[in-house]
Structure 1
Amino acid sequence: MAALEKAFEAARARPPRVVFPEMGAESRVDAAVARLRNDRLAEVVELGAASEAHLAALLTTRPMKESLARRMLQKPLIRAAAMVAAGQADLMVAGAASPTRRVIEAASIAIGMADGVRVPSSFFLMIFPDGRELVFADCAVNVAPDAPALADIARASAMSGAALLGKARVAMLSFSTGTSGAGASVDLVREAAAMAGDSVGPVQANAALNSAIAMAKGIRGGDANVLMFPT
């Protein structure tokens, strides 16, 4: 079963509570909300006024002066994230009308990082006409991460890939495969791959995706479904 079909099936079986802080301000968001409701894929939770529960959740995640926390809760993104932290919603969806950095900022402040995650990151789920499904990470948030950060992103992306695709096979991309090339960027990817564990790298994209090419280049794999981009 394809990733989206599995996600829809899981959502219908147990509709998550979703808050959209940009609802009413972006036509695409409103259309998505209507579809979720019509297809019974989610329970859309309205973004209400700031409450004491939101304040308590925000202060628990990020200790600060109460007066500052109350001011921050006037921002829809922060308030929506606080709803998740307070248990009033299972997730928030945002970014159609807000900069990515503001969405990440709100989640980091009000919800915090998942256990074991040090660096916030993103991934794209790429669905191709031939049925292949790949995770591309991190193509939207981190610029030139160092080796520890790249390894952290790889581990987080592997968890996302496993949740969506069943099993994550991670390839740390580079212009060089194995020991065929040298340079600072190759060394960085090699170090990150060693730190991340259970991944192949450095590896060129053709070897990461084609087992015959991988074999010819003397490396294992060729069947990656999570591609880690170094920048």
Structure 2
Amino acid sequence: MSNLFTTVKEKVQGKGISIVLPEGTDERILGAAERLAKEELVKPILVGNKEEISAKAASMNLTLAGVDIYDPATYEEMDAMVASFVERRKGKATEEDARKVLKDENYFGTMLVYMGKAQGLVSGAAHSTADTVRPALQIIKTKPGVTKTSGVFIMVREEEKYVFADCAINIAPNSQDLAEIGIESAKTAELFGIDPRVAMLSFSTKGSAKSPETEKVVEATRIAKEMAPELTLDGEFQFDAAFVPSVAEKKAPGSTIKGDANVFVFPSLEAGNIGYKIAQRLGNFEAVGPILQGLNMPVNDLSRGCNEEEVYKLALITAAQAL
């Protein structure tokens, strides 16, 4: 396991953080839950019928000691959960609506987090991104000062660690969005032992080109500096000016980023998604994520093609976000 996850494990070990894994009968989820509980890294909560989950685990020769199972059909505090959901949705759901919705494992699991029964949630092994993220946006919502959630990848190659954002959520972020993404990405970097130096990326460096697209990044940089003056953050940069010291010296000699950026904020989802995949495929970086950021409490989305190891790692990351 890379140093990245050694850092994360050290952060969460012994903290007693509970993470909901709503897809309780999925083999990958069960395998990861057993491992997390055995290693005393996370207290997993599975959602579903206890007999079905236990039978599935037994068929896989798994021991679920230290793993809690919550069944929406028999949950003793369902009345309180329904009332809390109706209040949270503020006129958008009746009690009858709530009882129907909370039969869904993702909504039920998200409410467990909202009501303090757990500190985070990981889903998506058998559900779409929308099925995972929608309950989080409706119930947990974004942090004060953050208007949208965003998705980052931690790019890892041996001892190298970088943060790429937003590579997963916002198709065409505006200047305010980009500023928030930069600030939240710096916080995510710190979770992984990265001292953040944030570069706001464009196809221009410090006014070398003028267009509405470059001005958007210039304005985002201004907003971010105003919102978080303590951050080492600058822009707008072409990637080489943010990453290569000799290029930075020529193109941006007065910047606080001197070719040593480690958090890269892309101007659009298109650019970010292409960028991380190039680093992954041509640069042989491991892409860890997407990690969702900007929510009041952490929720993360697995790929439906994930394996047990990826479930395990994302649960650890979610626990670290909850600290």
Q: Same fold (TM over 0.5)?
A: yes
Q: Any stretches of 5+ residues in structure 2 without a counterpart?
A: 48-69, 226-230, 269-323
Report how many aligned residue pairs link the two structures.
229
1:42-64 deviation line (CA, Å, top 9, x unaligned): 11113221512322332343223
Take 2:25 and 2:222, find their aligned partners in 1: how far apart are those partners? Answer: 46
1:1-41 deviation line (CA, Å, top 9, x unaligned): 9432121012213131011012323x433332232123221
Q: Which residue of 1 aligns with 2:300?
A: none
Question: Do structure 1's residue 169 and structure 2's residue 234 form an aligned pair?
Answer: no
Take 1:10 and 1:38, find their aligned partners in 2: how far apart are those partners? Answer: 17
Structure 1 residues 133 and 60: alpha-carbon distance in aligned structure 2, compared to 1, 3 A threshold: farther
1:133-187 deviation line (CA, Å, top 9, x unaligned): 1111110111011111222222222221223234321111111111111212111
Q: Which residue of 2 aligns with 1:118?
A: 147
Contact 1:8–1:41, Cα closer than 8 Å, also in 2: yes
Structure 1 residues 96 and 205: alpha-carbon distance in aligned structure 2, compared to 1, 3 A threshold: farther
Give the ranges of 4+ consecutive aligned residues of structure 1 lying more than 3 Å apart after TM superposition.
none
Question: Do structure 1's residue 43 and structure 2's residue 72 form an aligned pair?
Answer: no
Larger strand proportion of the pair: 2
Q: Which residue of 2 aligns with 1:132?
A: 160
Contact 1:122–1:140, Cα closer than 8 Å, also in 2: yes
Question: Do structure 1's residue 7 and structure 2's residue 34 form an aligned pair?
Answer: no
Q: Which residue of 1 aligns with 2:60?
A: none
Take 1:165 and 1:60, find their aligned partners in 2: how far apart are those partners? Answer: 38
* 1:136-175 correspondence to structure 2 within 5 Å: 136-175=164-203
Comparing 80-89 with 36-45, greater Cα deviation is found at 36-45
Question: Do structure 1's residue 180 and structure 2's residue 208 form an aligned pair?
Answer: yes
1:99-151 deviation line (CA, Å, top 9, x unaligned): 2222221111121222222111111111113x111111110111011111222
Q: Which residue of 2 aligns with 1:28?
A: 28
Take 1:101 and 1:191, find their aligned partners in 2: how far apart are those partners? Answer: 31
Contact 1:138–1:229, Cα closer than 8 Å, also in 2: yes
Residue 95 (structure 1) shift: 2.1
Contact 1:206–1:213, Cα closer than 8 Å, also in 2: yes
Contact 1:171–1:226, Cα closer than 8 Å, also in 2: yes
Instruction: Return the letter of the residue paired with 1:31.
Output: G
Q: Which residue of 2 aligns with 1:218?
A: 252
Instruction: Return the letter of the residue paired with 2:6.
Output: E
Structure 1 residues 116 and 163: alpha-carbon distance in aligned structure 2, compared to 1, 3 A threshold: farther
Take 2:16 and 2:6, find their aligned partners in 1: how far apart are those partners? Answer: 14
* 1:94-113 correspondence to structure 2 within 5 Å: 94-113=123-142
- Structure with greater contact order relative to length (CA < 8 Å, sep ≥ 6): 2
Take 1:93 and 1:226, find their aligned partners in 2: how far apart are those partners? Answer: 24
1:57-81 deviation line (CA, Å, top 9, x unaligned): 3234322322222221111111110
Percentage of matched positions with identical amino acids: 31
Question: Do structure 1's residue 58 and structure 2's residue 85 form an aligned pair?
Answer: yes
Take 1:210 and 1:60, find their aligned partners in 2: how far apart are those partners? Answer: 52
Question: Do structure 1's residue 79 and structure 2's residue 108 form an aligned pair?
Answer: yes
Q: Which residue of 2 aligns with 1:207?
A: 241
CA RMSD in angstroms, aligned pairs only:
1.9
Contact 1:174–1:186, Cα closer than 8 Å, also in 2: yes
Instruction: Return the letter of the residue paired with 1:189.
Output: V
Structure 1 residue matching 2:192: 3-state secondary structure: helix
Contact 1:136–1:226, Cα closer than 8 Å, also in 2: yes
Take 1:216 and 1:206, find their aligned partners in 2: how far apart are those partners? Answer: 11
Instruction: Return the letter of the residue paired with 1:89.
Output: A
Contact 1:12–1:40, Cα closer than 8 Å, also in 2: yes
Structure 1 residue matching 2:150: 3-state secondary structure: coil
Instruction: Return the letter of the residue paired with 1:30.
Output: L
Structure 1 residues 107 and 97: alpha-carbon distance in aligned structure 2, compared to 1, 3 A threshold: same
